[in-house]
Amino acid sequence: MTTDKTVWVDYVKGIGIILVVLGHVIRGLDSAGLDIPYFKEVDTVIYSFHMPLFFFISGMFFTQSFNKRGAKGLTFTKIDILVYPYVVWSLLQGSIEVLLSAYTNGDVSMLRVLSLWSPRAQFWFLHVLFIIFALSSLIFYLSGKRGALVLSAFSFGLFFLQNIPSVSPNFEYLYHQFSNHFIYFTLGILYVQVTNNKVMTPLKLPFTFALSLFLLVQYVLLSEWSYTSALWFKLTVGIISIAFVIKLAQLFDALRFTAIYLIGIASMEIYLIHILTGSGARVALFKLGVEQVYVHILIGTAMGILIPMAFKSVCQFFGVKYLYSAPISRLFSRQIETKQAQP
C-alpha cells in the first residue's frame, strides 16, 4: 500500500526501471549491429548501480516484513510474488523467443527455456532475490537480535569472495549475481536500522553534494584507472550512486513528477514484460527500414515502459488474475499443517 510517506520509494523504482529498460534497449541495438555513440560509457554507468538499487530497496522492507510475518510467512509470501512470476514469465517469454528467433538476436532453445533451475535473461533478478529473502529470513530466525550483524558479515564476505572458480558456468553466473547483490540488500536493512526502523526516513544529504559525488565516482570509473576494477571501488560506486538516486527521487517527489511515480508503481510488471515489448519495437522499426539509433532508443524505451503499464491496466480493468502473482504458497503451508497435525 502506498502512502504519502512511501511515495519517494516509488520514485526510486521509477528511475531504476527506466534505467533497466534503457540498458536492455541499447544492449539489444548493439547486438543487432547498430553503432551507438558512447555505448560503452552509458552502459558502464547504468550497470554500475541500477540493479543494486533494487536490492537495496528490497532490503529496506525486509525487517518490517520479517517482524510481521516471521521467517516462514515471509518466505511463503515471496514464493507468491517472486517464484510464481519467475516461472510463468520465464516460460512465456522464452516460448515467444523460440517462436520468433528468426526475427530477433536470440538463439534460445526450448530446452534452455525449460531449465528453470538456471535463470536466463532478466529473470535472474527474481531467482536471486528469492534466495536472498529466504536465506536472510533463516539467518534472522536463527540469530535473533544479532541477525543484522550476522547477515552483514555473511554478505560482505560473499561480496569479496565472489570471484571463486566454478566448474559449472550456470552456477558461476548465479553465484556471481548472488554474491554481487546480497551486500546491497543488507545495506538496505542497515539503512533502516540506522534511521531507527523508520523505513521511509528521507536521506539527509544535500542534493548538490550527492550529485557531485556521483559525477566524481562515475568519472573515475569511466577513466579505467588501475583500481577501478577492484571490488571495493565498485561497491563505493554502487553506494554513492544509490544515494544520489534516492536524493533525485526525493526531488522528483517534491516537484510532483507524477509520471516517474506511475512508472515506479508498475516497476515489476515493466520488468517482466519489457524485453518482449522493447525487442518487439526494435524488430518492427527494422522492418520499416528505420535505422536511426536515437529513434530506436527513444521508441524502444518508451514501448518497453508504456506497453507493460497499459497491459497491467487492462488486466486490472477486466479482473485478470494470476499473471504477476498467485497464492501458491497456500499449497505448501496446508501440506505442512497437515503433516504437523498427523499423530
Question: What digits encode the pLDDT tens for the residues 118-157?
Answer: 898 899 999 999 999 999 999 999 998 899 999 999 999 9
More reliable by pLDDT, 338 or 77? 77
The pLDDT tens digits of the residues spanning 162-171 come to: 777 666 777 8
The reported pLDDT for the residue numbered 332 is: 65
Residue ranges covered by each domain of the chain = 7-333
d(CA 104, CA 279): 8
Separation between Cα atoms, residue 340 and residue 343, nearest integer Å: 8
Question: Which grid cell sits at 92?
Answer: 512465456
**Which residue bears the cell 524485453?**
275
C-alpha cell belonging to residue 49:
548501480
Rounded to whole angstroms, how far apart are CA atoms 106 and 108?
Answer: 6
Please state the pTM of the whole predicted model: 0.91
